[in-house]
Structure 1
Amino acid sequence: MKYKVFVSSTINDLMQERVAAEKAIISAQCEPRMSDKTFTAVDANSFDACMTELEESDIYILILGERYGWEYEGKSVTEWEYLKAIELKKPRIVFNLAYIRNREIKQNEFINRVGDFDAGRFWKTAKDVFEPAR
């Protein structure tokens, strides 16, 4: 059985990181689930399609970059996905991109929630675009 691995991040600003994540997932003999690459057309809005793909996945990966991203009902889609992964008790792997310098304020706030010592997640700090693939 191949594990389905859901990749959550903003897309346009993290294209190289997403390619690196996809390659790492495939090399681990797992199946990447990525909205910009693997989702098919469905009769649902984008938010619901993402939530369904996440529900059907086995593992959740979050890549924290510069942008907070598109907001839906007061939170970025990436944050909604993170909260859903918690609710579903999915194994969560987080990569914080240390080489990103000019983060949006809302993204810094989200990062602080994700990395909170008591309630958050330990993360891997990536020093370059390909580190998550190693």
Structure 2
Amino acid sequence: MFSILCVLSAVVAACLANTSPPQPVTVAPGCVVNGVTYKAGERFQKSPCSPCYCSADGHINCAIVDCFFTPCVDAIHDPTKCCPVCPNGENCKHKDGTIIKKGEVYNPDAHTSCKCPTSFHFGPSLAVCAVDTINVG
């Protein structure tokens, strides 16, 4: 039994003598998000409304985009963009449902002219109308 231990000790000693000490593994600084590695300093987006930055210490810093109101009544949500967009430009709506482009005049009848307000506010924008009382019969 003693001779087997001596042989095993000799084999282990020989193996240890022939191996170099383990080398430290260096990992480049970066961030991993959903299995994707980003380099330190690299910018990326987790979603259209969340731009992010990989810091030098490997932390992920993200902002949350807050959308301003849309200056139209027919805004759509484009999944590639964060905030709603106005496909037909700035506009407003008359009470009869007609959409009026900013800068244009809508005449729902012979005596009424309607246009978009000069400044938009939060919520749907309704047209401002004026009735011509001088020429009303």
TM tier, smaller: under 0.3
Greater RCO structure (CA 8 Å; 6+ sep): 1
Higher helix share: 1
Q: Could you tell me the TM-score, scaled by structure 2's length?
A: 0.19
Larger Rg: 2
